[in-house]
C-alpha cells in the first residue's frame, strides 16, 4: 500500500490512539505512517464492544436480582476474569469465585473488601452498593 493510501476511517478509538502502518513511499522504500482506523477493523471492534456491553448489562442484572455479588459487575466492567482478579488481590481463584456469591460477599471483612476496592478503583461503599 502506498503511504497516501493508508486508511483513515473513523472508529471507536479515533480520538484515543492511532496505529502505525507500514507503507511504501514515493521512492518505493518501506516507511511507516499513522492510521486512525480501517473500516473492517472498526466494525470488528464495534462488535466486540457490543459483546462487552451485553456482558456488563447481564452482570448488572444478576447483581440487582441477587444472583451474584457486585464483584461480577466490576469484573465485567474492568474486563477482568478470575485469574486476573486473583493475581492482583492475592486471593486464590476459588476464593474469588466464592466471593461472587452474594451471601459470602456480604460477610467479607473490610480488609478483603478494601483489596477489591483498590483493584477496581472504587471506594468500599461503591463496591458494596454499585448502583446507589
pLDDT in tens, 52-97: 999 999 999 999 999 999 999 999 999 999 999 999 999 999 999 9
Q: What are phi and psi of 22, to 5 degrees?
A: -85, 140
37 pLDDT exceeds 90?
A: no
Q: What are phi and psi of 10, to 5 degrees?
A: -70, 150
User: What does the pLDDT average to over 96-111?
Assistant: 98
Task: Give the lowest-confidence range in 12-16, 21-25, 63-67, 98-102.
Answer: 12-16
What's the pLDDT score for residue 70?
A: 98
> Buried b / exposed e across 68-85, counting CB within 10 Å, b at 16+?
bbbbbbbbbbeebebeeb
pTM: predicted TM-score of the whole model, two decimal places: 0.77
Q: Which residues make Cβ contacts (< 8 Å) with residue 72, sequence separation at least 6?
A: 59, 62, 63, 100
Regarding the domain with residue range 41-128, which homologous superfamily does it belong to in the CATH classification? lambda repressor-like DNA-binding domains (1.10.260.40)
Question: Do residues 102 and 111 make contact, with C-beta atoms less than 8 angstroms apart?
Answer: no
- Percentage of residues in the chain with pLDDT exceeding 90? 66
Of the candidates 63, 95, 94, 92, the one whose C-alpha atom is nearest the C-alpha of residue 76 is: 63
Question: How far is the C-alpha of 73 from the C-alpha of 63, rounded, in Å?
Answer: 7
Return the domain boundaries, the chain: 3-37, 41-128
Q: Which three cell numbers stand for residue 89?
A: 488481590
Amino acid at each position: 500500500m502506498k503511504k497516501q493510501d493508508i486508511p483513515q476511517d473513523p472508529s471507536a478509538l479515533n480520538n484515543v490512539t492511532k496505529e502505525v502502518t507500514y507503507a511504501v513511499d514515493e521512492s518505493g522504500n518501506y516507511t511507516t505512517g499513522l492510521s486512525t482506523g480501517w473500516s473492517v477493523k472498526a466494525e470488528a471492534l464495534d462488535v466486540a464492544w457490543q459483546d462487552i456491553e451485553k456482558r456488563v448489562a447481564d452482570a448488572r442484572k444478576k447483581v440487582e436480582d441477587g444472583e451474584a455479588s457486585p464483584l461480577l459487575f466490576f469484573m465485567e466492567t474492568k474486563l477482568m476474569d478470575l485469574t486476573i482478579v486473583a493475581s492482583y488481590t492475592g486471593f486464590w481463584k476459588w476464593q474469588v469465585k466464592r466471593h461472587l456469591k452474594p451471601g459470602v460477599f456480604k460477610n467479607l471483612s473490610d480488609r478483603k473488601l478494601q483489596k477489591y476496592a483498590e483493584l477496581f478503583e472504587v471506594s468500599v461503599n461503591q463496591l458494596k452498593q454499585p448502583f446507589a
